[in-house]
Amino acid sequence: MTDATMTAAIARSEKEASERSPLTRAFIYAALVAVSFVMLYPLLWMIASSFKPDDEIFTSTSLLPHAFSADAYRRGWNGLSVGFGQMFFNSLVVCILVVIGNLISCSMAAYAFTRLRFKGRGFWFALMLGTLMMPQHAVLIPQYVLFLKLGWVNTIMPLVVPKFLAIDAFFVFLMVQFFRGIPRELDEAAVMDGCGPLRIFLKVILPLSTPVLATAAVFSFIWTWDDFFAPLIYLNDIEKYTAQLGLRTFVDATAQSDWSALFAMSTLTVLPVFILFVLFQRLLIEGIATTGMKR
């Protein structure tokens, strides 16, 4: 390029940028706002509807209840033979146990894969990665039979125990990526300080891993809270139901006649996830983003 064509090109692109900018930007902005509005509307409407009487739900699309009433919450809460409180509690117990199980077992596995030297490590690691892509359908039925034989059906054991065995390869993978970023010199310094593998794990690696542990904890909680399938097949008694199962039962029970109560309970089951989202947004988004990064 000669000097003249160079300056002309720069001027042209600058002009284009400033010409393009306001109009295209406004257009993109408007499109984004429109899409977000349409996407969020059903959610907002559901929350609003939980405060409306039933007939209003089917006649109004507005986000503001004409006749504000929180009665639906009372009706929904006690709408089944077992109160929703019990079911929320069940969900909470399962979620907390799952978080603990995942954090312990997945960090142990990730530590072994990244920091310890032992025969067969590469082989097991490849298998672990393989399980990431494996669909659960293949193992579902024998797992059920196994839990049946152990007498664990209709308890929370099948929902919780596997998590203490690092069954969620996704979290192992997440932690492996993170641990790889911790400088190996720290391990060496700890060895010079007389630490064995356990002490290095507890005193050096884990304390430096709070971001990934927090990410794993929040995701674990949310995905377990939202889990419907496993509770569906393993929990039979209504007293043991988790919130998701309770909600489904409520749908059946009300035979679609008490929509505001239904929406009220729906809102409540979504609420914890929403709260976690608001509190840990950055963590969640960064956690997701790193899984797609080039390795």
Partner 1 sequence: MASMGDTSPDVGRFARLQDQLAGYGFLAPWLIGFFVLTLGPAVASFYLSLTDYSGLNAPHWVGAENYLRIATDDERFWTAMNVTFTFVLLSVPLKLLFALGVAVALNKGLKGLSLFRAIFYLPSLVGGSVAIAVLWRQVFSGDGLLNQALNMLFGYEGPSWISNPSTSIYTLVLLAVWQFGSSMIIFLAGLRQIPKDMYEAASLDGASPARQFFKITLPLLTPVIFFNAVIITIDAFKAFTSAFIISDGTGGPIDSTLFYTLYLYQEAFTNFRFGYASALAWVLVVIIAFFTAMSFLSARYWVHYDD
Partner 2 sequence: MTSLALKKVTKSFGAVDVIRGVDLDIAAGEFVVFVGPSGCGKSTLLRMIAGLEPITSGDLAVGGARMNEVAAARRGVAMVFQSYALYPHMNVYKNMSFGLETAKMPKPEIDARVRKAADILQITHLLDRKPKQLSGGQRQRVAIGRAIVRDPKIFLFDEPLSNLDAELRVQTRVEIAKLHADIGATMIYVTHDQVEAMTLADRIVVLRAGVIEQHGSPLDIYNKPVNRFVAGFIGSPKMNFLSVAVAASQDESVILNLAGKQLTMPQPVPVGQGAPLTLGVRPEHIVAEGAGGVSLGTFTVVHVERLGGQTIAYGNLDDKQTLTVALDGQRSIAAGDKLSVSIPAERCHLFGEDERRIGG
CA 269 – CA 267 distance, rounded (Å):
6
Task: Choose between 24 and 210: whose C-beta lies nearer to partner 1.
Answer: 24
Residue 285 within binding range of partner 1, rule CB under 8 A: yes
Say if CB 79 and CB 247 are below 8 A apart.
no
If contact means CB under 5 to 8 A according to the sort of partner, which of partner 1, partner 2, none does residue 140 touch? Answer: partner 1
Residues 6+ apart with CB under 8 A from 22: none
Residue 20 within binding range of partner 2, rule CB under 8 A: no
Residue 135 within binding range of partner 1, rule CB under 8 A: yes
C-alpha distances (whole Å) from 225 to each of 53, 54, 271, 273 are: 28, 28, 11, 8
DSSP state of 256: T
Report 134-173 residues binding partner 2 (CB under 8 A): none
Say if CB 182 and CB 208 are below 8 A apart.
yes
Shortest Cβ 205–partner 2 spacing (Å): 10
Residue 292 within binding range of partner 2, rule CB under 8 A: no
Residue 60 within binding range of partner 1, rule CB under 8 A: yes
If contact means CB under 5 to 8 A according to the sort of partner, which of partner 1, partner 2, none does residue 185 touch? Answer: partner 2
Residue 122 within binding range of partner 2, rule CB under 8 A: no
Closest CA to 171 of 112, 122, 215: 215
- Of 34, 189, 285, 288, the one binding partner 2 by CB under 8 A: 189
If contact means CB under 5 to 8 A according to the sort of partner, which of partner 1, partner 2, none does residue 97 touch? Answer: none
CA 210 – CA 167 distance, rounded (Å):
21
Report 72-101 residues binding partner 1 (CB under 8 A): none
Task: Choose between 23 and 192: whose C-beta lies nearer to partner 2.
Answer: 192
Q: Dump the DSSP string for 189-218.
A: HHHHTT--HHHHIIIIITGGGHHHHHHHHH
Binding residues (CB under 8 A) for partner 2: these are 183, 185-186, 188-195, 199, 203-204, 207-208
